[in-house]
Amino acid sequence: MTTLKKSSLAREHRRVAWATAVGTTIEWYDFFIYANAAALVFAQLYFSPLSGTAATLVAFATAGVSFVFRPLGAIWGGYLGDKFGRRAVLVITLTLMGGATFAIGLLPTYASIGIAAPILLVFCRILQGLSAGGEWGGAALLAVEHAPDGQRGKFGVYPQLGAPAGMVLAIGMITLLSTVMPNGDFLAWGWRIPFLLSFILIIAGVLIRRNVSESPVFAELKEKKAESNTPLGQLFRFHWRHVVLAALIFMGNGVGGYLLVGGYITSYATGAVGMDRNTVLLAVVVASITWFIFTWIAGPLSDRIGRKRTYQIGFIAQMAIAFPLFGFINTGSFPLLLLAVVLLSFGQGLTYGPQSALFCEMFPARVRYSGASIAYGLGALIGGAFTPTIATYLFSTTGSTASISLYLLAASVISIVAVSVVKDRSEEPLEIPDADVAGRDSTLSVETQRAHS
């Protein structure tokens, strides 16, 4: 290969990587703006007939509703992505997410139109869920399938960076507005600004994504006419164990992540502990930056020490912080709150950075979009969807955060067991042919395969 061609390929790899990072950042910005608005204002503005804990529970539940629709978004996005290509689906999902977010910024409140207000809010949240379900798999595949040999973790980390980066943008925007605006103005109209600004970000994201090339793996499938006409049928017939395992792996990360970024810690620290809202938001911003850093580190680290070992270190770290987490927060001390969320974000980064590479390696090319997306959507549903709601319920019924810590610990244990039985395929090619289509699950370890034989 000539030096000129190598340089051109390197530029293309970087362009694709940053396009996936920018797109997922915008998508997660939209998603987290809602989660934090649910924690801070939606209970008062859209569920005012309810009181106290009930209003907060319902507000968090509307955030969780989108996760119910993620698997559906993953099904249609995966089908289209496996049949027609990765890039086109990414443009569609980004546009859908942006439109729903912008619409939320214009919604009247319960005081203006009554019960129609929360109904419209939930509808927009459903659209966000459908979009998010189809988004991640396409971004992950585009980054990983473009990656050079031996660097799938390094390049696959870019779409993963979108979540912490989007969180920093979302929290930063809300913190800025709530700091410079009187509380009454923020509650009356200031909270709408971050939702409305998403319109500009979406236009930029769509333009960036339209200018990247299609995945070379999918291009090979098209050239050889090997794309599947029934990707879902093949997936659930031959690779259902892959889907279950990947979903369980993501579950532990989801529970920890949505305690942090789903609004629960913000709600708990400002409500039950009585800390200042802007102080808590600042701590979550710092934790999101820490999450970003360790996510970035974890991707290339998994190329060197393996996906499984990187995940295992991360889940062990998350298990270690499960009980100290709320002990630190309950002190009401800002330094200890900051220490708690930063330690949690360390484990989050190590169990999030390698995800694109691991999930893509778990499925053969012709069903990869469907497999990775559906597993991701199911994992988010069982691990992240209603984590803030469950945590709120556990605390209100037990009067103790120990039950929440036990919930986090249990999810982490399940995930570390699941990732430990996955076969390492980091050295195997992603291209077709996929010899395991009609055989046993090639992503299971030898020991697990024997147990099923």
pLDDT value at position 136?
Answer: 79
Report d(CA 270, CA 437) in Å as an integer: 51
31 in a domain, yes or no? yes
- Name which of 296, 419, 368 is nearest 137 in CA terms: 368
Q: Provide the pLDDT confidence category of residue 204 given band limits of 50, 70 and 90.
A: confident
Question: For position 450, what pLDDT does the model report?
Answer: 46
Q: Within the chain, what is the greatest distance between any pair of CA atoms?
A: 69
Flag whether 5 is in a domain. Answer: no
pLDDT at residue 132, rounded to an integer: 79
Looking at residue 31, what is its pLDDT?
A: 76
Position 176: which residue type? L
In a domain, 436, yes or no: yes
Interval 217-244 mean pLDDT: 71
Report residue 31 as tokens.
Answer: 């998603």
Token pair, residue 266, equals: 């913000």
Beta bridge partners of 422: 444
Amino acid at 226: A
Determine the structural domain holding residue 138 and report its residue range. Answer: 11-452
**138 domain-assigned:** yes
For residue 94, pLDDT beyond 90: no
On whether residue 105 sits in a domain, the answer given is yes
Looking at the structure of the chain, the number of domains it has is 1
Q: Helices marked H in 38-85 — which ranges?
A: 43-46, 52-84
Q: How many CA atoms lie less than 13 Å away from 355 in the CB half-sphere?
A: 37
Tokens of 96: 């859908």
Task: Please determine, for residue 302, whether its predicted confidence score (pLDDT) is greater than 80.
Answer: yes
User: 439: pLDDT confidence band, cut at 50, 70 and 90?
Assistant: very low
Per DSSP, 365 falls in state G
The answer to whether 357 touches 73, Cβ cutoff 8 Å, is no
Is residue 453 over pLDDT 50? no
pLDDT tens digits for range 395-429: 999 989 999 999 999 999 999 999 999 988 887 77
The CATH number of the domain holding residue 414 is 1.20.1250.20
CA distance 81 to 228: 11
Residue 2 forms part of a structural domain: no
Residue with tokens 């629709």: 69
Distances (CA, A) of 11 to 213, 217, 226: 12, 18, 28
Q: For 354-392, write each residue's pLDDT tens digit.
A: 999 999 899 887 788 888 888 988 888 888 767 888 998
